[in-house]
Amino acid sequence: MSADKLSLRYAKSLFDEAVSTGSLDTVFSDLGVVAAALQSSKELQLLYKSPIVKGPKKQAITQALFSGKVTQTTANFLSLVVTQGREAYLSNILASFNRLYNQTKGISEVTVTTATELDADNEQKIASFIKQQSGYPNVKINKKVDASIMGGFIIDFGGKWYDNSVRYKLSKVEKELMA
């Protein structure tokens, strides 16, 4: 089974459980805690991917890390993932859950990369553009700063790229001059 199918299957099962118990927003918040822990700790990422560390040890570490920080539904899910030996896919599972959550809540999630910090006026313009393109009433913008684009912006929206950066425009001019 591919990583995408596996991740979606586990995410869907947690999503369905959260919807049936009326705890969707709480589980979403819990998974934010788990995602933050994974992103901030290379050691935790390596632990979950390690074939040397056995399941019971991973289970104990997972329980110690998240006990009291997440609800019982989320804790049970994490336990299931580790018991089934799927902890290496946890980041993918979290991403799949986020996509399901966003679809249900009508949220378009985009990543905007700019050379400098994005100001409120331009953020509002981008949000309006994304609302118009997606048809979703809500937009969540993840901001990134990358000085190498020299100016302008790059929007990653649902697998589509809108590249309006100075770097891209310069590369186009360079290709035209070389042709």
What number of H helices and E strands is found in the chain? 8, 4
Concatenated DSSP letters of 157-169: ETTEEEEEEHHHH
3-state secondary structure of 142: strand
Q: Environment class of residue 27 by beta-carbon count within 10 Å: exposed (0-12), middle (13-18) or buried (19+)?
A: buried
pTM value > 0.85: no
Which pLDDT score, from 0 to 100, does residue 48 have? Answer: 93
Read off the pLDDT of residues 136-150 as tens digits, 9 standing for 90 and up.
888 888 899 999 999
